[in-house]
Structures are given as C-alpha cells and as structure tokens.
Amino acid sequence: MKRTLILLAAVAATSLAFAAEPAAAKGRSPADVAWDEVIALSRKKPMDALAVMNRVFDTALKFPNAPGSGAMLAGLAGLDHEIEDNAEKAAYQAALAARIARTLVQPDLPASLKTGLMAADYAQVMAVQTRAAQPDFAAVRAKIDALAAAYPQAYQLASAELAYGDLLAKSDPAAGAEHLRKLTQGSNPELARQAAGQLRVTEMRTKPLKMKFTAADGREVDTTRLRGKVVLVDFWATWCGPCLGELPNLKRVYAAYHDQGFEVIGISFDKAPSEKALKFEKDKEEFIAFIQEKGMSWPQYYDGKYWENDFGRMYNIRSIPAMFLLDKDGSLVDTNARGETLEREVKRLLQL
C-alpha cells in the first residue's frame, strides 16, 4: 500500500521482521533490529518524514549488504503522501533528491543499494511531476532509462513503466495508451498482464466505464444505469488503515451530495479465509455487518479474493485506497480522489 506502508511493504519483501523484539533476541541480526527501529519511527503520528528519510539512509549505509536496504531506499519517495502541506511536501522531495545525489557518488556502493537509490531517484522525480500542472515527461523518462541502462533486471522497472504510462495518459490519453499497449506485447508476462489492466484504466478516460455485478447485500449494480451522475469507485478493504482513515471524509461528501447526484460503489479487497460455500457466506455476512456498523450505505462488491480481486486484477490495482472518480458520462477523471480533492471535484462535476 502507499504511504508509510510502502516502508513496511519494503521490509516484508525482504523477509525482515516487523516486530519490535529486543536486540538480544536469538537469531536477530543488528541489521534486523536497526530496521525495526526505522519501522517504529515511521509509525509515529504525526510522522516526521524527513527524520524517517534520514534514518533510512543512515541505516542502509550502515548495513549496505543487508537484505532490504536497497528496497527501503527505493520506497522513500512514497513518504510524501504523509505530508499534507504542499510546501512541506516540496521541501521533503528536494531534501530526498539532494541526499540521493550525494549518496550516489559515494564509491564502492553495492549494486543492490545503488539500484535502490536509482529507483528512489526516479520515484521522487515522478512524484514531483505527477503533481505538476504541466509534467516534464522527459525528466521522468531520463530517470527510468538510466535505471534500465545500469540495471536492466531491476524489479522496479516494471512499476516505473506502468506509472509512466499513467502519467502520460493524464495529459495525453492516446500517448499513454500507446505506451501501455507496447508493454502488453513485451516478453515479461506479468508486466504484460499489469499493462493490460492499466490500459483499461487509461481507456476509461475516453470511454465510459462498464461495470456490472451483484453487491454483497444483493443489490444489482450497473454503471451504465448511472449515467448523468458523478460516481466514485472506491477500491478498499477493512484491513487497510489509510482506507478507513479516508472513510469519514467519504461519508461526509456522500451525505452532502448524494441527493444531488453523487454515487459511490465499493470494491472490497477483503480476504475470505475459506472458499468453501458455507464459510464464504459467513465471511460475507461479517463483511456486511462491518459496513453497516460503519454507516457505508452504498453497494459493495465482495469476492473474498484479497489481491486477486476480480476487478482489482482487471484494472491493475496495486495499492489501496484507489478512488476512481467518474464524470456524468462515466469517464474517468481522477484515480486518487481523496481528501480535499474529492469534494472539490464532486462539486465541479455536479456543477455546484
């Protein structure tokens, strides 16, 4: 998931432990303990992104050959999602760029660490250009090409190419679609699958979304019947902290504008512990009880497949919350309609 969970995911991917265990715990290396301390720092609220960033660099350089050091560096650009103030966000990205530049010129960096640094370099430029009114596509492309030239097998390249296609599509849907279409024809089958899903999202910017299913509570959902309304498709899960953190804002906007033509559709990434019919139904009942308790009155798709969620795979949802806002014609306007953006865009699209 995005935000500070990027750091947690980076650790998970390297099999380092999250639990804050004593340094003397049997089998725990000094690097394990040091990374636990970084995770503990990232969990403090409010989080000090600059402090976390500097601690990640210091720990990675102290343990350059430890599993996960490069991955933790690569995830640093995502910390700017925790910063609300735009000036502070810009300051963080500038500080990150400066530290990356200073570190990259250090001699004898192991390949894993240098790969992580170059991935972070690309990611921070992408973060800046994603927020820009007129993105500098050449700047982003140069960072991706540099990483590909130095480390053609870097696992970060797949997500970088997908993100680049999404950035292109926001300004030029045809160019974004063409980039993603090329990726679907590449030799990497997983990247081709993800690109196909991302291509469907890009095409939603010019073609109305067609989504049809029976909701967990039995309601029939068909987006073609919602033309003339502004619709939010919320990809979320009960276990997703940022999703639940956004819920009060979503409920407030829904209550304020539902009667004026604003609809919400939930797509749950919850996992049913068992696929057996009776157990699945019990899991679904517990899910329905949860959304009722939280006052989420809009329809919800639930298949219990976790990250293999049918719609998640169809639209290549790699992190949640993902909040797709559709205009009255059913075309995609925003893939991250959260916080203040949600109400502002809903009002604009409803012409209020």
Same domain, 139 and 244: no
Same domain, 17 and 106: yes
Over residues 99-111, the pLDDT tens digits come to: 999 999 998 899 9
Over residues 26-60, the pLDDT tens digits come to: 567 898 899 889 888 888 888 888 999 999 999 99
Q: Which pLDDT score is estimated for 274?
A: 59
Q: Which pLDDT score is estimated for 260?
A: 96
Same domain, 230 and 128: no
User: Is position 201 within any domain?
Assistant: no
Same domain, 217 and 327: yes
User: Is position 240 within any domain?
Assistant: yes
At residue 275, does pLDDT exceed 70?
Answer: no
By the 10 Å C-beta count (0-12 exposed, 13-18 middle, 19+ buried), 305 is classed as middle
Q: Mean pLDDT across the stretch 52-69?
A: 91
Give the span between the Cα atoms of 337 and 322, in whole angstroms.
Answer: 8
Same domain, 228 and 132: no
C-alpha distances in Å from residue 80, one per residue of 126, 268, 317: 12, 26, 20
Same domain, 119 and 46: yes
For residue 5, name the pLDDT band (cuts at 50, 70, 90). very low
For residue 15, name the pLDDT band (cuts at 50, 70, 90). very low
Q: Count other C-beta atoms under 10 Å from residue 271's C-beta.
A: 16
pTM (two decimals): 0.67
Residues 6+ apart with CB under 8 A from 80: 49, 89, 92, 93, 127
Q: Mean pLDDT across the stretch 170-178?
A: 87
Q: Mean pLDDT across the stretch 132-145?
A: 92
- Residue written as token pair 């699945």: 280
Q: Which pLDDT score is estimated for 295?
A: 94
Total number of domains constituting the chain: 2
Note down the domain range covering 96: 5-154
Residue-wise DSSP of 250-315: HHHHHHHHGGGTEEEEEEE--B-S--SHHHHHHHHHHHHHHHHHTT--S-EE--SBGGG-HHHHHT
- Please choose, from the candidates 148, 120, 124, 144, the residue with its C-alpha nearest in 3D space to the C-alpha of residue 57: 120
Lowest mean pLDDT among 10-24, 204-218, 287-301: 10-24
Q: Which pLDDT score is estimated for 14?
A: 33
Give the span between the Cα atoms of 96 and 242, in whole angstroms.
Answer: 23
Residue-wise DSSP of 220-255: EEEGGGGTTSEEEEEEE-TT-HHHHHHHHHHHHHHH
Give the span between the Cα atoms of 39 and 59, in whole angstroms.
Answer: 11
Q: Which pLDDT score is estimated for 26?
A: 56
User: Is position 143 within any domain?
Assistant: yes
Q: Mean pLDDT across the stretch 58-68?
A: 90
Q: What are phi and psi for residue 152, nearest 5 degrees?
A: -60, -20
